[in-house]
Amino acid sequence: MTGPCIATEIPPEIFINICQDLPPSDLLSLAQVCKKFYGYLCSTHSRPTQEIWRNSRSQFLPYVKMLPPDNMDERQYVKLLSERGCQFCKRPRIRRIYWAFRVRCCKPCLSERTMRLDQIRRDLLSKFSIPDDILRGLTYTTGFYKWGWDQSPKNRPANLYWKDDVYRVYNEYLKLDPDERKDWLLNKRKEGRQKMEDVAQREIEHENEYWVKSSENEKKREERASTIESLIKKERNDFGLLRFKMPIVEQCMVYNKAIMSSSTHTFTNRAWIGLKNKLIPEYTKLAASHRTQRQAAEKLFSHDVAVQTRQMDILKLIFDLPRPDSDQPVFDNAENAQEFPRNKPEIFFAAGFNVNLIVNL
């Protein structure tokens, strides 16, 4: 029989000190451990709780300069910024935040929960001849009701309003006395202007963060691809020769999948061993196929052309061998160094075949 968990008996003061330097993802996970931790981290009226989330946001989300919107605490703000996925259908890899509605959702969920301006006019405002000004106090975003090449009115750009907000202001307007409606509309217009200015600033901040993150991730992916290519080029077989030929490697699905991967993690030695174990069988099969095609093509050549082709392959293999680190030639004495011609075409003889090669030393 096990006793109570020691972690849940941590005093609140020590728990606060532990959480001071934790990233948002760890805080969100810690809040799901038990009811006690949830109470510590999810209290909306606790000043230390709000301070924990504020410190985490300032340390690990430095691009976020604006304070939380009205009626949103620090925990809700950090959760909206740091998590990924649709809040409604739980579809993964959704990072678009619609600040007009303070939600992170996919396009289908957005279309289900919003109304177009022409739809509002047709279904609600036209019944009692209500002016469009009742919507001035609401925030909105621009989008399409349906997506496609169809240019009919239902697919044209229009302001999208959150359905719950529309019905709320609609019922609120109907309950007002006729004498109160004019002042109510003026206040809503001023309130809506301030809200949309705040939404615009948050959209710009979020968009800048998106491009900064995208450029950083692109650099990481390029470095990862460069590391993979460098490791493949440096790999040697048991005889000290290059194991892989890049023209053949570039045709391998394993290589292309690794190069085009969206992962931004550092390519470790363990990852290289796994990639190499997958690459060698596919490379061997492709190399054998190329060899068979080469042999079939050589049967159509004359004897001399076939021999010359093989000789060129040998020379290419020789020049692909690793060279010393020094770029200068090594000589036994100074006389040989003076007699050695520089930047001059040399004639190499390989098995009786003359090949003109320019050697830059």
How high is the pLDDT of residue 156? 62
Per-residue pLDDT tens digits for 27-37: 999 988 888 88
Q: Looking at the domain assignment, is residue 347 inside a domain?
A: yes
Q: Looking at the domain assignment, is residue 3 inside a domain?
A: yes
Whole-model pTM above 0.85? no
Least confident of 30-34, 256-260, 310-314: 310-314
Per-residue pLDDT tens digits for 5-22: 666 677 888 888 888 889
Q: Looking at the domain assignment, is residue 194 inside a domain?
A: no
Q: CA 230 to CA 353: how far, in whole Å?
A: 34
How high is the pLDDT of residue 117? 86
Q: Looking at the domain assignment, is residue 343 inside a domain?
A: yes
Among 54, 83, 112, the domain-final residue is: 83
Q: Looking at the domain assignment, is residue 165 inside a domain?
A: no
Cβ proximity of 170 and 130 under 8 Å: yes
Q: Looking at the domain assignment, is residue 36 inside a domain?
A: yes
Q: Which of 150-159, 184-193, 309-318 is modeled with the greatest confidence?
A: 184-193
Least confident of 82-91, 142-151, 237-246, 337-346: 337-346
Confidence of residue 331 (pLDDT cuts 50, 70, 90): very low
Domain that includes residue 345, residue range: 303-321+332-359
Q: Looking at the domain assignment, is residue 158 inside a domain?
A: no
Among 83, 113, 142, the domain-final residue is: 83
How high is the pLDDT of residue 151? 52
Alpha helix (H) residue ranges in the chain? 12-19, 24-30, 35-41, 47-60, 74-82, 107-113, 117-120, 163-175, 181-234, 246-249, 253-259, 269-298, 303-319, 334-339
Question: Which residues, including other chains, have CB under 8 Å from residue 30's CB and lie 6 or more apart?
Answer: 19, 22, 37, 41
Q: Looking at the domain assignment, is residue 273 inside a domain?
A: no
Cβ proximity of 230 and 222 under 8 Å: no
Helix (H) or strand (E) holding 359: strand 353-359
Our count of domains for the chain comes to: 2
Least confident of 181-190, 206-215, 283-292: 206-215
Per-residue pLDDT tens digits for 204-229: 888 887 778 788 888 999 999 999 99
Task: CATH number of the domain at 13, please.
Answer: 1.20.1280
Cβ proximity of 315 and 355 under 8 Å: yes
Cβ proximity of 48 and 18 under 8 Å: no
Confidence of residue 197 (pLDDT cuts 50, 70, 90): very high
Among 51, 68, 83, the domain-final residue is: 83
Cβ proximity of 83 and 103 under 8 Å: no
More confident residue, 11 or 162: 162
